[in-house]
Structure 1
Amino acid sequence: MTKLNLLLVIALLGSALVLVRTSYEGRRLFAALDRAKNEQRQLDIDYKRLDAERQAQATHLRVEQVAREKLQMRTATPAVTQYVGDRPHAASGVAR
């Protein structure tokens, strides 16, 4: 009878330790999941902000302004346009 009681006490202590370890692991995983969700929310906020900034930078007026100021580009007009036409090949004595 004493051996049976001792065996039952050992089994009880073992199961109690397993229960404590499982509870701890569950809390640890839940905290990690909560941190990951918070990080996901923050990354979503950053993505939306950066996307809005990208759209603001890519407007036609902004691109034209940067082209004029930084790249020193100008609007193509007939006065500054050079037209290139096909010239007839000069007749040469070289046979092809």
Structure 2
Amino acid sequence: MTRLNVVLFVALVFSGLYLVRVSYEARRLFVEVERAQSEERALETEFEQLQLEKRAQATPLRVEKVAREKLQMRTATPAVTHYVTHAGATDAPQAASAAAPGGQP
């Protein structure tokens, strides 16, 4: 009977140690999940702020201002408009000969 008591006592001790280890691991994982959820909330907030900034940067007035200041673009007027016409089939050999060195095709 004493052998059975010793075996049961050893099983009880191992069971208790396993329970402590599992409880510690569960607490550690819970803290890790809470930390990840907190990081998720922070990233969602940052994403929303970036989306707001993106919408603010893409307003038509700002785009026009940047185009005028940084790219030196201006509104098209008839005074600065250049019209390109298609040269007819009869003009094509003359244009080619003018482009070739020496005037010969």
Under a length normalisation based on structure 2, what TM-score does the superposition of the two structures give? 0.84
Size of the aligned set, in residue pairs, is: 93
Return the alpha-carbon distance in structure 2 between the equivalents of residues 25 and 58 of structure 1: 49
Return the alpha-carbon distance in structure 2 between the equivalents of residues 6 and 74 of structure 1: 94
The 1:24/1:3 distance shift into structure 2, 3 A limit, reads same
Q: Name the % identity.
A: 58
Residue identity matched to 2:71: L
Residue segments in structure 1 that go unaligned for 5+ positions in a row: none
2:44 is matched with 44
Residue segments in structure 2 that go unaligned for 5+ positions in a row: 94-105
1:59 is matched with 59
> Residue 82 in 1 paired to residue 66 in 2?
no
Residue identity matched to 1:30: F
**Deviation at residue 91 of structure 1 after TM alignment:** 6.9
**Secondary structure of 2:78's aligned partner:** coil
In the TM superposition, structure 1's runs of 4+ consecutive aligned residues that sit over 2 Å from their partners are: 89-92
Under a length normalisation based on structure 1, what TM-score does the superposition of the two structures give? 0.91
If each structure's helix is expressed as a fraction of its own residues, which one has the higher value? 2
Which region of structure 1 is more displaced relative to structure 2, 73-82 or 39-48? 73-82
Residue identity matched to 1:52: L
2:9 is matched with 9
Residue identity matched to 1:59: T
